[in-house]
Amino acid sequence: MIPTKGYAAKQAKGALEPFSFERKAPGPKEVLIEIAYCGVCHSDLHKVNNDWGGSAYPLVPGHEIVGIVNKVGKDVKRFKPGDNAGVGCFIDSCRNCEACKDHEEQYCASATWTYGAKLADGLRTYGGYSERIVVNEDFVLTIAKDANLASTAPLLCAGITTYSPLKHWNVGKGQNVGIVGLGGLGHMGLKLAKSFGAKVVAFTHSPKKKEDALRLGADEVIVTSDVASMEKHKGSFDFILDTVSAPHDLNQMLGMLRRNGHYVIVGVPSDPHAVHAFSLIEGRHSLSGSLIGGIKQTQEMLDYCAKKGIVSDVEVIPMQDINKAYERMLKGDVRYRFVIDMKSLK
């Protein structure tokens, strides 16, 4: 067993505080990664606050993990000590179901989430707000040697969660694409959709983000409270990706789609959306959702981003500032992903 320092919430809505626990030594197929950086996803905050129900405490969040391989089991083929490595939202799956065979382990009913999952031996998984993690090599991602680790970390969730639906719905040249919400996921969605050749419009409820959105590559920015601007663009979008973490009016947003347009939700507010049938039947609109992405596609996304020079815009913080960072994230005051420097735990 390896003593490990981390930060945990001890109860729903509780502040994160120092927490010591033990990681198992790596088994034959496992990789021990010393965590360098971990991104702060809004899902971490939802889980700490038990917004979706089912959170278990102590909860060590964190699923945007990058670090350096420290030790490998004897049967590990793809990694050696000193390599960069990444871990995303899940660390295992059943490997036999239809989803697993299709390389979409995120849809496996028994996928093991990186944190908060109950293991067969009764222990719980603890996430990336910690010094190190031990993961089966099949669920560890390769990170380029020369990568900027801090700005690559958010790709492990925010990157793949936006890349996957953009690929699934073949977003690209000639399409008018909307990205709703300019946070961690949204700013990655914007960069990726733009890199695929689409015309990209950012929808934000924060007028102060207008200039940033243009700098990040948006062709246009629409502030959702600007009625005239919303009216002008009504019925013109082929595809809209909604990354918003809080309740908002989906009927208004569905009205932005053109005939046969797709509206895909990745953001998960705690309360259910109210969708009027007219928002769908008028224009034969489709409403769908998408959950992160499989390991194979996550590697494809990491390689694509490395080739294109796409990374996240990050604000690096020490672990000790995590509670302040959560407060700021709730206010939309993050440009555009907090990333924890794990050196601060030493």
Binding site for ligand NAP (CB under 6 A): 41-43, 46, 157-158, 161, 181-186, 204-206, 209, 243-246, 248, 266-268, 290-292, 329, 332, 334
Q: Which partner in ligand NAP, Zn ion, none is near 292 (CB below 5 to 8 A by kind)?
A: ligand NAP
Angle at 67 between CA 332 and CA 93, to 5 degrees: 85
| E strand map for 181-293 | 199-204, 220-223, 237-242, 257-265, 286-289
Question: Which region, judged by CB under 5 A, interacts with Zn ion, from 13-21, 106-114, 138-146, 157-165?
Answer: 157-165
Q: Which partner in ligand NAP, Zn ion, none is near 68 (CB below 5 to 8 A by kind)?
A: none
Q: What is the DSSP letter of 78?
A: S
Helix axes 184-195, 158-168, angle to 10 degrees: 40
Contact call for residue 157 and Zn ion (CB under 5 A)? yes
| CB-based closest residue to ligand NAP | 183
Which is nearer to Zn ion, 9 or 76 (by Cβ)? 9
**Which residues, at least 6 apart from 35, have a Cβ–Cβ distance to it below 8 Å?**
65, 66, 67, 128, 130, 131, 132, 133, 342
Which is nearer to ligand NAP, 176 or 245 (by Cβ)? 245
Pairing of strands 2-9, 220-223: unpaired
Contact call for residue 43 and Zn ion (CB under 5 A)? yes
Number of residues that bind Zn ion (CB under 5 A): 3
Contact call for residue 240 and Zn ion (CB under 5 A)? no
Which is nearer to Zn ion, 8 or 266 (by Cβ)? 266
Bridge partners of 237, per DSSP, are 257
Which is nearer to ligand NAP, 60 or 264 (by Cβ)? 264
Distance CA 300, CA 304 (A): 6
Residues that bind Zn ion (CB under 5 A): 41, 43, 157
